[in-house]
Amino acid sequence: MTPLDKALNILKDDPENIENRHHFYSLFLQTSFFIPTFNEKSGDVTKTEDEELQPEKAMPLIMESDGSDFMMLFDHEDRVVAWAEEGVQCITLPGYAIIAMTTDQLHLAMNIGTDYSKQFVPEEISWLKDVVKLSGEGGAGKE
């Protein structure tokens, strides 16, 4: 169990507690996440054996579910491998950078397939964007 997992469990137990929210979102913004990448040629998740992937051209995998688009995030490499059921290429970004680059209608799906999964809706992401702007990119979490 990671510190982010613990903070999410505490938040789920008492979602109205401001300290719990602050702690979870601060950890989220400071955590580096693995984001599976999309291969434009194959139209699938980029596999580890794909030699042609250039990190500067990597595209995050966006999946559709119930009419909403989700970008998948995993806080540990083992979790993304378990989700993909095979090796995948990923880009790694801190939470504050992910929030800053997220478009208005995109949802985030963190640690899907684990007991510590969470979906972030656009309104929540918009609020986090404001937090990142107020605190500065390197000092995310200083509300």
What mean pLDDT is predicted for residues 84-89? 82
Which pLDDT value is given to residue 125? 96
Q: Quick count: other Cβ atoms within 10 Å of Cβ 121?
A: 12
Least confident interval from 21-30, 57-66, 84-93, 130-139: 130-139
The residue ranking higher by pLDDT, 54 or 94, is: 94
* 85, 78 Cβ separation under 8 angstroms: no
Please tell me the class of the 32-137 domain. Answer: alpha beta
Which pLDDT value is given to residue 137? 54
Q: What is the 3-state secondary structure (H, E, C) of 38-88?
A: EECCCCEECECCCCCCCHHHCEECEEEECCEEEEEEECCHHHHHHHHCCCE
C-alpha distances out from residue 58 to 8, 9, 43, 91, Å: 29, 32, 13, 7
pLDDT at 54 over 90: no
pLDDT at 44 over 80: no
Which pLDDT value is given to residue 41? 55
What mean pLDDT is predicted for residues 40-52? 51
Place of tokens 């929210």: 21
